[in-house]
Amino acid sequence: MNIGNKVGAFAVALLSAIVLSSQTWGAEFYVDSLAAPGGVGLLSTPFKSIQEGLNVLKPGDTLYVRGDTIGPGRIYSETPMFPLSGVNGSPINVRSFPGEKVIVSTAETIILNRDFLVIKGLIFDHQKAEIDAIRWSGNNVSLSECEIRNGSRDGIDVSARARDVTISNCVIHDFIWTNTTRRDAHCIVANPGVIGVRITGSTIYNCSGDGIHLFANDSTAMSSYVTDVVIQNNTIYSTLGANSENGLDFKGCVDVTVKENDIYGFTHDKAVVVQKGAKDLRLVGNRIHDSARGVEFRWEAGNFQHNITVIRNVFFNITGEYALKFDGVFKAKVVNNTFHNNVGNSIRVESKGIMGGIIRNNLIHLSRPPRVSGRLAADYSHNGWFRSSAGSLASSQDTVGADPLFLNALAKDFRLASTSPAIDRGIPVGIPYQGVAPDLGAFERTRTAHQ
């Protein structure tokens, strides 16, 4: 190396050292319930309780909780409280020690009322207590890779003050109201005033109320509706039969995306219901199946719904009245959905119905005809009806046949075979497609270079 290169390397190293020295690095603390009392939070002399660790945390610090590497997990019988908030860029972090299982077991409500918290890898067992497991009012709080279970009220109740709520890769289950006259124990509920909710990659099941509930009452102003919500890539289901309500229940919401979820098993109610008011809601790429009813959009108490988009969803094995229902929606876009083996109506339009929008490029197979008993002011055409009648939605531009040629409907693979009569039979509706025209249904067949 010549002198010039050595000087340059030294300058880069010196600059890097100056930059690194200007950053504030958080401290790491440790908790181990098997440790002797009087620890100072070091790995060698850890605190004995989680609360001891929380009491010393400052913004940017991390508390590691020791657990067990085998078996159900190490139990900490306490109700942790956060004395301080983190700050933007330096949250307070609490997580299980890598590779170890930790169970926080309490019959009291855990209060998340501080801001900028990151909680990862803990199991919260609520001992079937008849109060909410977690009440969440802090801003910029994240739960990831956690399990929340076994209560008789709500699993997570998010209050109006909360902003930027993140629940990712969690398992939330078995919140069951013990009073047989009520069922409203929800896995997750967000109340009016909440802004910014992200629920992704989680498994949510067996709550006697709803899987996810966005609450409002008849008098809640739209300006207070839960706003800016993404519910994506979750599995939401029930095996409770009549002791369960809906997968998703939205009673007032604005700017909501429900995407790529698997929602099923609601055998006495609906997979998804949107009631009262809603605005700018997108239902995209979901699998909605094996439930009494599929998805309902319904006005209530003078509150109508606006700008509802239903794209590339699959509705199958719906055993009750309808797969998709509209009653009181201004501007609905219903395109490129697949309906298969539904006992009830594929699409139902009642009472106030649909006031503006389109119904196109949908593929309906082995389902009862649509039922239109309410107002329908929407353009409908280029749908495919296979062993299903178009009824009131018939158009001369539709495709009619016996078999759409799914790749494997028995295995719930509703992609189109290369010889499917549904290929290139749609009309452009503003979403990407290949070939000379869009395919019908939820899945656009991928062409190879020689097709």
User: What's the CATH number where 62 sits?
Assistant: 3.30.1910
Whether residue 210 is contained in a domain is answered as yes
Whether residue 422 is contained in a domain is answered as no
Same domain, 182 and 311: yes
Whether residue 266 is contained in a domain is answered as yes
Nearest CA to 263 out of 332, 341, 204 is that of: 204
Same domain, 84 and 209: no
Strand 338-349 relative to strand 363-368, pairing: parallel
Same domain, 175 and 86: no
Whether residue 361 is contained in a domain is answered as yes
Same domain, 243 and 208: yes
User: What's the CATH number where 328 sits?
Assistant: 2.160.20.10
CA angle 351, 357, 360 (to 5 degrees): 105
Same domain, 59 and 205: no
Quick one: DSSP state of residue 215? Answer: -
Number of structural domains the chain divides into: 2
Beta strands in 233-317 (DSSP E): 235-237, 248-259, 262-264, 270-284, 287-289, 293-298, 305-311, 314-316
Whether residue 265 is contained in a domain is answered as yes
Same domain, 243 and 357: yes
Same domain, 150 and 94: no
C-alpha to C-alpha distance for 321 and 323, rounded to whole angstroms: 7
Whether residue 425 is contained in a domain is answered as no
Same domain, 338 and 257: yes
Whether residue 449 is contained in a domain is answered as no
**pLDDT by residue, tens only, the chain of 451 residues:** 444 444 444 444 444 444 333 334 599 999 999 999 999 999 999 999 999 999 999 999 999 999 999 999 999 999 999 999 999 999 999 999 999 999 999 999 999 999 999 999 999 999 999 999 999 999 999 999 999 999 999 999 999 999 999 999 999 999 998 876 667 899 999 999 999 999 999 999 999 999 999 999 999 999 999 999 999 999 999 999 999 999 999 999 999 999 999 999 999 999 999 999 999 999 999 999 999 999 999 999 899 999 999 999 999 999 999 999 999 999 999 999 999 999 999 999 999 999 999 999 999 999 999 999 999 999 999 999 999 999 999 999 999 999 999 999 999 999 999 999 999 999 999 999 999 999 999 999 985 443 4
Which residue range(s) make up the domain with 87? 24-98
Same domain, 311 and 291: yes
Same domain, 76 and 158: no
The per-residue pLDDT for 183 is: 73
C-alpha to C-alpha distance for 45 and 170, rounded to whole angstroms: 31
Whether residue 223 is contained in a domain is answered as yes
DSSP string, 411-429: GTEEEEPTT-TTTT-S---
Same domain, 130 and 228: yes
Same domain, 330 and 380: yes
